[in-house]
Structure 1
Amino acid sequence: MHSHSINSRRFLAVTLLNLVITAVEIVGGLLSGSLSLLSDAIHNLGDSFSILLGFCAQEISSRPENEKRTFGYRRAEILAALLNALFLIIISIFLVVEAIERFSNPSPIDGPIMLGVAIVGLLANLASAWLLHQGSDSSLNIKATYLHVLSDALSSIGVIIGGVIITVTNITWVDPLITIVVAIYICIKSWPIVHKTISILMQSSPKLDYSAIKQDILQIDGIVSVHHIHAWMIDEQRIIFSAHINLHDIKLSEVEPIYLEIEDLLHSKYKIGHITIQAEVERGLNESLFNTTADKEE
């Protein structure tokens, strides 16, 4: 709960910083005539929306499980991460199109103004990235927001380089070139988040060694066979696992210790969080590990 409160304060601080950066860069972009500075401003404005979305998703995901959402609201953060990453890609495509048009129709650029505003933007973006860095490894939502801010910092560095070159040489095509380079970088960094969030939402199986899991479970005394395995993820950290096991015809009180042994094994060795085991005697004895026919019959 303490960590959640810290993340909430950081989301708020980063949002305010991004709004300030956006206002400064819009004014600076209009005064200097720099497309890369205006594109960075649009990017920052989008980031403010994305950070706000990420904050709302984090608040929703912290709600407890209930009869309507028995697995809780953790998918809210996954949805926010997907929307944030897609938004970054769409903005990047827009910037590339605008940059290509600027190559055909160059316009004069005030290098010193462009340079000064870009330096302010870089400092603010670095401060935002520092605020979000700590939680970026534990949450796809925070990671997506962190990448937004980090890509802004990189964009600002590109604008600074462009501002220096334009101030010294007056070569204005550097401005759209930097815009394209930054946009491509943003797409490259955003695509893995899109891929992973879609995989989670489609309930794709996590990367587990299912053959090894089967062999480990069969090593437990009393278990004859394992079949009908399902595994999926609620978010990037919580794996849900279910399986059917065949046992000898024993008492229910003798089954419970076997359940506990399976749970301990899967928790400790495979980091699986939520486990459901169904015990059977003869039913499904000859079925394969992944059995689609049984699903249809049930």
Structure 2
Amino acid sequence: MAHSHQHAPASVNRSRLLAAFIVTTLFMLVEVIGGWLSGSLALLADAGHMLTDAGALLLALLATHFSQRRPEKHQTFGLLRLTTVAAFVNALALLVIILLIVWEALLRFRSPQPVAGGLMLGIAVAGLLANILCFYLLKQGQGKENLNVRAAALHVLGDLLGSAGAIVAALLILWTGWTPFDPILSILVSLLVLNSARQLIRDSLRELLEHAPASIDIDKLSRQLTLNIAEIRNVHHVHLWQVGEKTLLTLHARVIPNYQQDALLGRIHNWLKENYSITHATVQLEYQECTQPECQLGTEAESGNDDHHHSRDYEGSLHH
């Protein structure tokens, strides 16, 4: 059985991540205070959207930290999944915030509240500048190679729309004096936050329930592996799941008799890495024919031979 391990240093620039997290958190607090003082529900809704950005950045920081920690005997993957649990809890908290904001917006339609348009405008502009700064930080350097950081950058990009909308609402209130623009915008921003929360719940649940990554088709992977490596006759017992950012794979491969098993295993691992970015895989080579139903994938490519006379399972270790 071959087990490929690649524990490369994290490619994330921690200083940029930390700077973006601090800027986002500070301006989230500014929007909360400004929304309270100005009476702007839209600023509070945008602060909720900034909370999703801060949460995404924090998860990226935690993922970077845990990925560099040495696993312990009772935690062979470290604490990578802690970030997924945090994401799920964060998403549930966002749903509560959304309900509160929408409820308050509906009340304000019935009983409009005064809004300090000038203060609202100033804070919205500051929030927009903060989001631009965070987006710049996240798009620079090595951080752009990290999936968590790329997701956080998308969160910030979405929040730019919320800040821009708050600016428009503040200008409309200053020009027309019609305060319902504020709850209207707060509901629109809440819809953006709802979409982020929905995606966060979906992705975190997929990982917690150990679904295969949505980007990988297991049947397609098995067929391509069989077609691209001539010695492989059949791929079966495929299991694929995600822990943090690490994609894990185990599979059985029925192969023709081969006296260079290590070289064959190396080719399989290289193919998985190059085509699916899978660097942590356990591959069991088998010579004996598998008769179980799930082993039939790819059997149409087999030609009658006496492979089954050479019945042997090969197990070894391969470290990259």
Question: What TM-score, normalized to structure 1?
Answer: 0.78
Give, as a single letter, the amino acid of the residue that structure 2 aligns with 1:229: V
Query: Which one has the bigger helix percentage?
Result: 1
**How far has the Cα of 1:228 moved from its partner?**
1.7
**How far has the Cα of 1:48 moved from its partner?**
4.7
Cα distance in 2 for residues equivalent to 1:138 and 1:75: 17
**How far has the Cα of 1:3 moved from its partner?**
4.0
Match of 2:243 among 217, 225, 234: 234
Cα distance in 1 for residues equivalent to 2:292 and 2:45: 61
Relative contact order: is structure 1 or structure 2 higher (C-alpha 8 Å, sep ≥ 6)? 2
The correspondence of residues 155-234 of structure 1 with structure 2, limited to 5 A, is: 155-206=162-213, 207-208=216-217, 210-211=219-220, 213-214=222-223, 216-217=225-226, 220=229, 223-234=232-243
Give, as a single letter, the amino acid of the residue that structure 2 aligns with 1:11: L
Alignment partner of 2:295: what SS?
coil
Name the structure 1 match of 2:312.
none
Show CA shifts across 1:199-241 (max 9, x none): 22322123225256346436745544432222222344x4322
Query: Does structure 2 retain, via aligned residues, the 8 Å contact 1:24–1:117?
Result: yes
Query: Does structure 2 retain, via aligned residues, the 8 Å contact 1:267–1:273?
Result: yes
Cα distance in 2 for residues equivalent to 1:264 and 1:284: 25
Query: Does structure 1 retain, via aligned residues, the 8 Å contact 2:11–2:145?
Result: no
Change (3 A) 1:40 1:212: closer
**How far has the Cα of 1:191 moved from its partner?**
2.4
Change (3 A) 1:227 1:125: closer
Equivalent pairs: percent with the same residue? 33
Show CA shifts across 1:250-292 (max 9, x none): 68x543333233323333334332222223343634542389x
Show CA shifts across 1:93-142 (max 9, x none): 322122111111211222222212211222122212222244366323x3
Alignment partner of 1:183: what SS?
helix
Question: What TM-score, normalized to structure 2?
Answer: 0.74
| More off after superposition, 96-105 vs 28-37 | 28-37
Match of 1:116 among 122, 130, 135: 122
Query: Does structure 2 retain, via aligned residues, the 8 Å contact 1:147–1:189?
Result: no
The correspondence of residues 1-298 of structure 1 with structure 2, limited to 5 A, is: 1=9, 3-4=11-12, 6=13, 8-41=14-47, 43-44=49-50, 48=54, 51-52=57-58, 54-134=60-140, 135=143, 138-140=146-148, 142-206=149-213, 207-208=216-217, 210-211=219-220, 213-214=222-223, 216-217=225-226, 220=229, 223-236=232-245, 238-247=246-255, 254-282=260-288, 284-289=290-295
Change (3 A) 1:110 1:189: same
| More off after superposition, 98-107 vs 257-266 | 257-266
Give, as a single letter, the amino acid of the residue that structure 1 aligns with 2:127: G
Cα distance in 1 for residues equivalent to 2:89 and 2:154: 13
Query: Does structure 1 retain, via aligned residues, the 8 Å contact 2:222–2:236?
Result: no
Change (3 A) 1:257 1:45: closer
| More off after superposition, 115-124 vs 279-288 | 279-288
Query: Does structure 1 retain, via aligned residues, the 8 Å contact 2:48–2:193?
Result: no
Cα distance in 1 for residues equivalent to 2:172 and 2:86: 38
Alignment partner of 1:71: what SS?
coil
Cα distance in 1 for residues equivalent to 2:133 and 2:86: 22
Show CA shifts across 1:55-87 (max 9, x none): 334322321334233234433443444444444
Change (3 A) 1:290 1:183: farther
- Supply the RMSD in Å over aligned alpha carbons: 3.2
